[in-house]
Amino acid sequence: MSGFLEELLGEKLVTGGGEEVDVHSLGARGISLLGLYFGCSLSAPCAQLSASLAAFYGRLRGDSAAGPGAGAGAGPGAGAAAEPEPRRRLEIVFVSSDQDQRQWQDFVRDMPWLALPYKEKHRKLKLWNKYRISNIPSLIFLDATTGKVVCRNGLLVIRDDPEGLEFPWGPKPFREVIEGPLLQNNGQSMESSSLEGSHVGVYFSAHWCPPCRSLTRVLVESYRKIKEAGQKFEIIFVSADRSEESFKQYFSEMPWLAVPYADEARRSRLNRLYGIQGIPTLIVLDPQGEVITRQGRVEVLNDEDCREFPWHPKPVLELSDSNAVQLNEGPCLVLFVDSEDDGESEAAKQLIQPIAEKIIAKYKAKEEEAPLLFFVAGE
């Protein structure tokens, strides 16, 4: 375990009080789940999260008080004499984007968990890129032994499971999470078992969001074309609307199914399952409930005739207005072609495709997303 943690976090962490803690001591303490908390002292939402997270952390670890350094500063071997309780096998590490050391010190002082040292700026940047953090605060949970992401949306864990009864919050099969009645826009309902054998699009959207409404108009046409082609395909709308009235108005424009607005627990579990950080998001699943692509939005806009449905990912993409949003999601390699000749673009794709395929295969074998996206860009 300690080998993975040291590769990820380095050799030393610090407590809120400034004491150094050896990373390998986390293994000796039996830590099984690692939370990475990405934030900044200048962010009001981060300050709010820190307060609620401190109470959550204290309850899970059984600390009598979640004060500064409570339980976080234990030295090597602490807890090794006795098997720790399952809910105590959690540690959180704060990964800051602060640019001012004094502000960082003031912010971490009251944290009962650990933090990456302020000077570790390069390592912090690597973590932000590795896990494609696009907004703060963000909290993700990792298996401390394998490094596999267990939950991408820890903020919902704190809200939905404040006592930690579902620890360690591992992903559940789609069939289990979606189980229950689904609404049709005529007011009738049908059971989720009707989805068996179909490709499924899980559509996270809301009426108040202009990009969502724009995508919905295109998606309605795509849905119709796919169904008319005889494909078994269904879409499930997971609303982020602020009222049931808005949900009903928006859903009336959709020809597919929806999770009932009143079923907030199921909507939240779906958000947690796919680590949704922004809308609109369209996740496309195969008939077994496995993710084909998280970029359904881009695929729908790029393939208006739906000829490439169900949109299995390509190793190399041609950069366009619709998929340029992916440049914000993490490191990208873009090969620019100074030509309007389509043959030049295709030759460029063939040049980098073997590299892309090798990297994608390497990370797929570890059940991880590739750390790099590949594009070819023409005029």
pLDDT score, position 30: 85
Dihedral angle, C-alpha 319, 320, 321, 323, nearest 10 °: -60
Which of the four pLDDT bands, split at 50, 70 and 90, describes residue 325? confident
pLDDT tens-digit map of 20-32 = 999 999 887 889 9
Rg of the chain in Å (alpha carbons): 23
Cα angle 111, 115, 168 (rounded to 5 degrees) comes to: 80
Residues 6+ apart with CB under 8 A from 31: 1, 89, 90, 91, 144
Which of the four pLDDT bands, split at 50, 70 and 90, describes residue 366? confident
pLDDT tens-digit map of 222-231 = 999 999 999 9
Give the Å distances, CA to CA, from 355 to 7, 72, 318, 351, 362. Answer: 24, 42, 16, 8, 11
Residues 6+ apart with CB under 8 A from 5: 23, 24, 26, 27, 34, 144
pLDDT score, position 87: 59
Percentage of the chain modeled with pLDDT above 90: 69
pLDDT tens-digit map of 174-195 = 999 999 999 998 889 999 999 9
DSSP secondary structure letter of residue 289: S
pLDDT tens-digit map of 88-112 = 689 999 999 999 999 999 999 999 9
Cis peptide before 310 (omega within 30 of 0): yes
Q: pTM for the full model?
A: 0.81
pLDDT score, position 88: 65
pLDDT tens-digit map of 36-81 = 999 999 999 999 999 999 999 999 887 644 444 444 544 433 444 4
pLDDT tens-digit map of 251-309 = 999 999 999 999 999 999 999 999 898 899 999 999 999 999 999 999 999 899 999 99
- Rounded CA-CA distance 174/270 in Å is 8
pLDDT score, position 2: 58
Beta bridge partners of 203: 237, 282
pLDDT tens-digit map of 140-169 = 999 998 888 999 999 999 999 999 888 989
Residue 300 backbone class (left: φ over 0; alpha: ψ -120 to 50; beta: rest): alpha
pLDDT score, position 77: 39
pLDDT score, position 300: 95
Residues 6+ apart with CB under 8 A from 343: none
pLDDT score, position 68: 41
pLDDT score, position 85: 58
Residue type, 210: P
- Residue whose pair of structure tokens reads 């939950």 in the numeric block: 151
- Rounded CA-CA distance 16/31 in Å is 19
pLDDT score, position 329: 76
Which of the four pLDDT bands, split at 50, 70 and 90, describes residue 245? very high
